[in-house]
Structure 1
């Protein structure tokens, strides 16, 4: 543009200089002087008309257009705010909007006509100037002006016809593009105005220009603004109607990390947008595996471990990747719910692998049902990886699909419609329709089997004397329940039995009133397994729930010297300042037991907490050294537990 502008200025300067030289050389030629005089008068007259009339009419048309545009926006906002339960307000807002739309269309036609006249008159003046100053015959310009008059009369007739059409047209719905077109030339499959509810505390609604392009949902506040991405990839989303809020025509797009509430101007538009999102999802899933692999590469690591800089830390795995190890488990090579081969996603609280479509459906269920993580992108802690390897699709399907064939339910297949797969997954995990409920005798037998054997990992013989921990006593309970099964399965380190108990409706924070009010998490600590603790925490176990002695899981892990569990509980927000009924904190217990590792961890955690408080309420990272030390302890607890599960003899004479 700069180069072209310079060339234009140079050429224009040469042209003016040529006219000046021609005038100087032709001062005595009366014919040329007359032509120059006529050209100057003609150009002057047209310029005066252009500035005084054409430009004024253009400005007035623009002012009127801006005014009616604001009125239309106000009418749209009022129509959107009309509550569904107040019919008179809805009718009033609808009538105002219809009338405003019709008026807006009339003004738009007038404004467009003025813009066309403005551009054509400007071009005519420039052309007339060049032709006249070049001393060409003025007849061409006169003929051109005559043609403009004819064209203007024709445009006027066409405009009157358009105004008449507007007057007869129904404006209850706007003329927004309503069809999803995946093959659009500009790559935009759907676009139009929607109201978007903000994520702030006030939940305000703002009107934005939305579009579906490149399998993303984006919006712009103004035409020239860069698009803001609402959904990175629609394949990980679901869309649903929203009838439980006051506003009408609302729908919600739920993504892996957030949801976006939007409102259309009418029911017709809402249905069009919902179909567009659904079609975009379906179109993306019909594409080949290359795009799915691309999605894995760009997907957010929202559930992965992040360092203070916000970037994913180096994977904790050495040699085999998480994908290879998890898929090596029998049954994990295909999606747990639809059988799609080569899954790339996993539900970490269920211990199953999923394809990309089923992972999106699992995310929409909520984290209280399923927590989804990428097998190729996210960081996998050793204890979480072991959890995945001890469960797997085969184990979980034996539990959650036990009665599927008996009930005649068909399991989805790859390529089935999304709504069918979604219905099956909800029936399987939310309603637990296919789970076989055990009889009282079966439940009693299960619990007896779990309590018949000693702990799978014996306690070390060198416990620090005196130990305040009460030895486990096996007894005949008054009542058998899934909660009791979960309780003893946690002690026995049996993840399949724990998963079965949760499927039967066991409360993860179930309290055994006959055994000092201990919880399954405390029993998992006593059983000495880091993986069972991780499984319970992934299923929303309370890391601070105390027993009758006022001791939480952190107290018990400290007393038993389970350094890996102490590290895990501290990372999950355990309260290290909590004291039991003897007013002992975990730190005082660790000092009493002379366990240097746990003392170090507790003091580091305390120091890190103080640093975070000093940094302000929005600090999240704390000290990086603390993060690295805890990661090392976690690695050691999973890979070399013998180095940590050690006890040092208590010496009363030791200072």
Structure 2
């Protein structure tokens, strides 16, 4: 009974735990939760009382009766055994006494003495045995009645405690019963109302859907609009999953200036558009499905389908309104940040300590914005621009960046200064140019023509017209090169002193007649060029020097030479500037219509990109590539930019060209590809890069069309070489220096 009672208490405890769990699941219903918790506490008290009852039962009945059985009855059994033994001995003495012959007097006396002693012992033991029987009987009655009386008192206490406990709970149970009666009445009334509504809905005509969805940009929870939409797959096949429509139907919402969706209720939201200001929305009538619309962002597009035409119109209007709201909110935030981060223009003067400090900082935004003029948008003047055109070298606000994207990548390549990853050579390219430099080129005739430059508050149409006239039509570029003609053979009508200087520069160029046979003088000069390019202050000084080119009064000899170079045809100007590493002059040549792949027939059909390689500047190569230079164009000797960079040992340029898709299998007129040239020159770094690129290419080919774009280790190694080429070029010249010392 005690063991079963303990199992009963354990089951009751499990039952209490279940009630508590049910109360937690009903946490949103205060009445249910409070009632269940109160009942569970009361029942738990009853279970505790029951446990106490079984403990008292064990002490009162089990312990006492076990003591009676184990001790008192054992003593009685011992006395009984002794009595039976003495009785047997007495019987034996009587038998022996009867068997003795009367003529044997000695034996008769001995048998009589034994019988007398045995009888005496028997009477003593018998009396003790009877005593033990009487004591046991008396104790048996006492122990049993005492145990049962204690057990009954324990039961009395148990039920008395239970009665008191439930007496206290009685008023609460009575109130709860009254509430349940009211709930039953309310439930019956609600049931009748629902049945009436159901009957009304059944009689309603749904032939025309009159659903009206409204959006709220000022919603308290921040959700402008939400609902289910079908989403087309974003893979290469662009399919709708017809077998499992639940795989493409998602819960979309517009919140926090973002478009997000969830697959399931508890899943984390997946962001479709990071910033609504970067996207646009449009109807899609040219696909097989109805009610479709497309949300287009700079990096991807998302095709969505609503359930009806009214739903589609509501979503499109909600997205458009959210875009407009995001512009207003971000505009106010930008003004506050501009006042906080850029209190005055004096702190951004060229050569200042704060500018130099920012130039060496970790943030791409800080490094680019510290250049003169970059603290405001190049086209509308809005403060704190977060976007940049990497082929023009300018910073842009969010709205102007969207307009630049619409021009096409052949005019402007837009990248975020905060969201995208920036290669070191791109950052240095941005630091070499800047808004002031580019505006002096592309806005040279704005004031003369009386054109009003749009402001940050101007309409988008006005900004778009101005930007298109500025960069596509180039209406405001000073056309001072129109009178200069270029002979068909590529040699320009250049003053003789400049022509001689060009030939002397060509003779001094570090291009060897044989692969790997470069002079020590040229190698050390190349190392010096890269060391100079690594210094941030040199970049700053270069930018300042570039800005001074457009000042009417130049006193330096270099400025006068460059001013003379402006009389060159655009193609030749770009060609010369590429070798001199003068990015502002190159940008001006491109603005005047220079062909980025212009071929100088007079100098072995060399291109500006090849001249940039010979000049030893990684940033110049990056600028030309960003503006569409052909990385695989070869000169009259069959050597492309990759060949020349390999011959000269320019590891950073080799890395750049391989990343831009240079053909490493192309051979020159001697039948040598870049890898064989690097092996002959014993340049371990370039050999490593070329072999890695070849291995990666073979891996992609083996994986087929669906293969990965490249091995991660390969990408990491090329990233490390790019960082070193931009920040520590002297480390990549260790082989050239050792060759120089040997020679």
Give the TM-score normalised by structure 1: 0.63
Q: In structure 1, what is the equivalent of residue 728 of structure 2? A: 636
**Distance change (3 Å), C-alpha of 1:216 and 1:565:** same
1:178 and 2:220 are equivalent in the alignment? no
Equivalent residues of 1:351, 1:391 under 8 A apart: yes
Distance 1:533 1:522 in 2: 8
1:211 and 2:241 are equivalent in the alignment? no
Q: Residue 262 of structure 2: which of 215, 220, 234 is its match?
A: 220
1:138 Cα deviation after fit: 11
Equivalent residues of 1:334, 1:340 under 8 A apart: yes
Q: In structure 1, what is the equivalent of residue 631 of structure 2? A: 543
Q: In structure 2, what is the equivalent of residue 302 of structure 1? A: none
What do the CA deviations read for 1:241-276 (whole angstroms, capped 9, x no partner)? 555556555443333432223344555544443332
1:230 Cα deviation after fit: 0.6
Q: In structure 1, what is the equivalent of residue 64 of structure 2? A: none
1:389 and 2:431 are equivalent in the alignment? yes
1:316 Cα deviation after fit: 12
1:222 Cα deviation after fit: 4.1
Q: Residue 620 of structure 1: which of 702, 711, 714 is its match?
A: 711
3-state SS, counterpart of residue 728 of structure 2: helix
Distance 1:387 1:139 in 2: 81
Q: How many residues align?
A: 506
Q: Residue 167 of structure 1: which of 178, 190, 205 is its match?
A: 205
Matches within 5 A, 1:262-341: 262-265=304-307, 268-287=310-329, 318=360, 323-341=365-383
Equivalent residues of 1:636, 1:643 under 8 A apart: no
1:291 Cα deviation after fit: 5.5
Write 1 or 2 for the structure with the bigger share of helix.
2
Distance 2:480 2:508 in 1: 36
1:538 Cα deviation after fit: 1.6
**Distance change (3 Å), C-alpha of 1:195 and 1:149:** closer
1:189 Cα deviation after fit: 0.6
1:434 Cα deviation after fit: 4.7
1:230 and 2:318 are equivalent in the alignment? no
Q: Residue 658 of structure 2: which of 560, 570, 584 is its match?
A: 570
- CA-based RMSD: 5.0
1:412 and 2:504 are equivalent in the alignment? no
Matches within 5 A, 1:495-510: 495-510=583-598
What do the CA deviations read for 1:515-573 (whole angstroms, capped 9, x no partner)? 54433212322344332211011223222222332211011223344444334323434
**Distance change (3 Å), C-alpha of 1:645 and 1:190:** farther
Equivalent residues of 1:253, 1:260 under 8 A apart: yes
3-state SS, counterpart of residue 209 of structure 1: strand
3-state SS, counterpart of residue 287 of structure 1: helix
Distance 1:386 1:143 in 2: 77
Q: Residue 189 of structure 1: which of 217, 224, 237 is its match?
A: 224
3-state SS, counterpart of residue 441 of structure 1: coil
Matches within 5 A, 1:102-181: 153=192, 155-162=194-201, 166-167=204-205, 170-171=208-209, 174-175=211-212, 177-179=213-215, 181=216
**Distance change (3 Å), C-alpha of 1:413 and 1:210:** same
Matches within 5 A, 1:330-479: 330-363=372-405, 365-375=407-417, 381-402=423-444, 404=446, 409-418=451-460, 420-430=462-472, 432=474, 434-435=476-477, 440-442=482-484, 448=493, 452=499, 453-454=501-502, 466=514
Equivalent residues of 1:563, 1:644 under 8 A apart: no
What do the CA deviations read for 1:66-89 (whole angstroms, capped 9, x no partner)? xxxxxxxxxxxxxxxxxxxxxxxx
1:329 Cα deviation after fit: 3.4
Give the TM-score normalised by structure 2: 0.56
Distance 2:444 2:510 in 1: 45
1:490 and 2:572 are equivalent in the alignment? no
Q: In structure 2, what is the equivalent of residue 80 of structure 1? A: none
Distance 1:423 1:245 in 2: 32
1:380 Cα deviation after fit: 5.0
Q: In structure 2, what is the equivalent of residue 600 of structure 1? A: 685
Distance 2:460 2:655 in 1: 41
Distance 1:143 1:252 in 2: 53
Distance 1:259 1:627 in 2: 29
Q: In structure 1, what is the equivalent of residue 236 of structure 2? A: 201
Distance 1:456 1:239 in 2: 58
Equivalent residues of 2:645, 2:653 under 8 A apart: yes
Q: In structure 1, what is the equivalent of residue 85 of structure 2? A: none
Q: Residue 583 of structure 1: which of 671, 676, 691 is its match?
A: 671
1:554 and 2:639 are equivalent in the alignment? no
Equivalent residues of 1:564, 1:644 under 8 A apart: no
1:354 Cα deviation after fit: 1.7
Equivalent residues of 2:359, 2:370 under 8 A apart: no
Q: In structure 2, what is the equivalent of residue 2 of structure 1? A: 21
1:200 Cα deviation after fit: 1.4
Distance 1:608 1:555 in 2: 15
Distance 1:441 1:647 in 2: 50
Equivalent residues of 2:358, 2:366 under 8 A apart: no
Shifted more, 535-544 versus 267-276: the winner is: 267-276
The gaps in structure 1 that reach 5 residues or longer are 20-129, 297-314, 471-479
Q: In structure 1, what is the equivalent of residue 611 of structure 2? A: 523
Distance 1:137 1:285 in 2: 56
**Distance change (3 Å), C-alpha of 1:174 and 1:511:** farther
